[in-house]
Every structure is written in structure tokens, then in C-alpha cells.
Amino acid sequence: MAQNPEILVTGGRGAVARGLSGLLAAHGIPHRLASREPDKPGTVHCDLSDPATFPGALAGIRSVFLYAEASAADAFVKEAVPAGVEHVVLLSSSSVLAPGAAESPLAASHLAVEQALLASPLRATLLRPGSFASNALSWAWSLKSGRPVHLPYPGSSCDPVHEADIAEAAFAVLADPSLGGRAYTLTGPQSLTFTAQLALLGEAVGRPIPFEAVSREQWKAEAEGYIPGPYADALLDFWASTDGLPVKLTDAVERLTGHAPRTFAAWAADHADAFRA
């Protein structure tokens, strides 16, 4: 008889959730993949902004991999506790550690969900990635259209972490309860400037990738329509704060997964087709 799943993986269309689901399946661990817009058989409907979808998704569940949607976080907790959920692994963000996080568009939603979980009876594990390597996908449109990438702070540094490493970290804390109940700041193995990332992407796609330094105002005007103004300002301020300064790295990925984090060069090779015309 098939074992009923006791792990719910939310955000089922996201790269981290897909990677985690693949790891659970490969290890024979029954789980339930959930999404706001289920796109394959077996995925259940769970919109983290709609509490009406919570009961069905949480039935029989003991552990949850949770994306940080703040709008109904309290309702999720209120449903999860009586449903029998014991452990929640939250995909949060290292931005919650910055001063003024509660007022920052980059951090506020993650911080609100963290606070809701920590105030509940649930055991909470907080995974706080720094910069996702996949943020570089925002440059793909420029490259495919033959235009230089516009950078307001070409020398800004970040710690790009591969989504596969985040998925493996989540798997580790779900598979080994002794690792849970604490916070982990996840980073890649290198602090890289935007220009260094573009150079590595160029090596992966087989041609140099041009970029152009632009003003804050120009970049914000170009982003209008797909990045809300307050979020764009927060991004610009963050990039300015790390312009010319390396960011601090951690060993959390290695401690959780047993291997060094994947490099940005490895991520670029894995995703090179996304940047080719």
C-alpha cells in the first residue's frame, strides 16, 4: 500500500520546490507538491494568499516547505497547527538581517512570515539565502535582443547561490530533524561583482557579454512597469551598499549538504541556453 505523504512542498512551479520534490522522490520519500497554479498531475492547489486552499493541502501533513507569502501567514499557521503540522522549513531571505528590515520591500514579507512561525507552536527552520544566482536571468532579455546589460552599480557584489544548493539544504533539514529548528544563512562560494558574473556568463555562452553603466534614474525608468517603484529603490540602495565591497560568506550550504556550494560558473553553464539568442 502506498504511504501517505507527510511533507508538503509549496511553490511547486518554483525552481527550488521542483528541485526539492525531485530529491524527495529520488529518496523514496512521499510528499505532496502544491502550487497556486498546478501545472502537472498530482500537484494540489495551494495558494498561499488564499486560506480557503489550506485545509486540503495540509491534510495529513507533518512537515512543510513554505514559500514566504506574508498576506495569509497567520491564517496558514492557524490551519497548520490543528492539522497536525509539526515542522515548517521556510524559504526566507538574508535581507531580514539588515537594519530596518521590517520597512524594506526586499525583506518585509519574509520577516513577517518568520515572525508568524516563531510566534507559533510550530518548529521553524529558516533558510535565508543571500542572492539567488537565478537573479541573473533578468539579463537574458537584453542579451537575446542584442543590447548591452544596463547596470547602475557594475561593481556591486553579491553571493550568488545555486537553486540546487537551496533545494539540497531544504532536503537536509526535512530528512534529518536534528538539523531543524534554527536559522541558516545560505550563500554561494564566492563574492562576485555584477561585472564578474557577466564575464562568467560570457564564458558559458561562448561570447563576451557587453554592459553599460547607467544612472539610478535611467535604470529605474527602464524597470518601471515590471518592478514597483519602492522595490526598485530598495534594490538600488542595496546595490549601492555593496558597491566595491565584498559580501560575507557562510559555510551553511556545506554543513547541510556535505559539499561545497556550486559556483556561479556552474550555474551559468547549467543555464547557458537561457542567454543565447
Q: What is the CATH number for 12? A: 3.40.50.720
Same domain assignment for residues 106 and 143: no
SS3 90: strand
Same domain assignment for residues 138 and 108: no
Position 177 scores a pLDDT of 84
Residue 182 lies in a domain: no
Same domain assignment for residues 118 and 25: yes
**pLDDT, tens digit, for every residue of 241-260?**
999 999 999 999 999 999 99
Same domain assignment for residues 106 and 151: no
- Domain count of the fold of the chain: 2
Position 3 scores a pLDDT of 60
Q: 63: domain range? A: 1-129
- Predicted TM-score of the model (pTM): 0.95
pLDDT classification of 41: cutoffs 50, 70, 90: confident
Mean pLDDT of 118-144: 95
- Mean per-residue pLDDT over the chain, rounded: 95
Q: Which residue has the cell 524527495?
A: 24
Same domain assignment for residues 114 and 68: yes
Mean pLDDT of 150-157: 97
Quick one: which of 255, 122, 128 has its CA closest to 181? 122
Angle value at C-alpha 16, between 10 and 22, nearest 5 degrees: 85
Quick one: which of 20, 11, 88, 90 has its CA closest to 45? 11
Contacts of 277 (CB under 8 A, 6+ apart): 143, 144, 146
Same domain assignment for residues 109 and 225: no
**pLDDT, tens digit, for every residue of 98-118?**
999 999 999 999 999 999 999
Residue 141 lies in a domain: yes
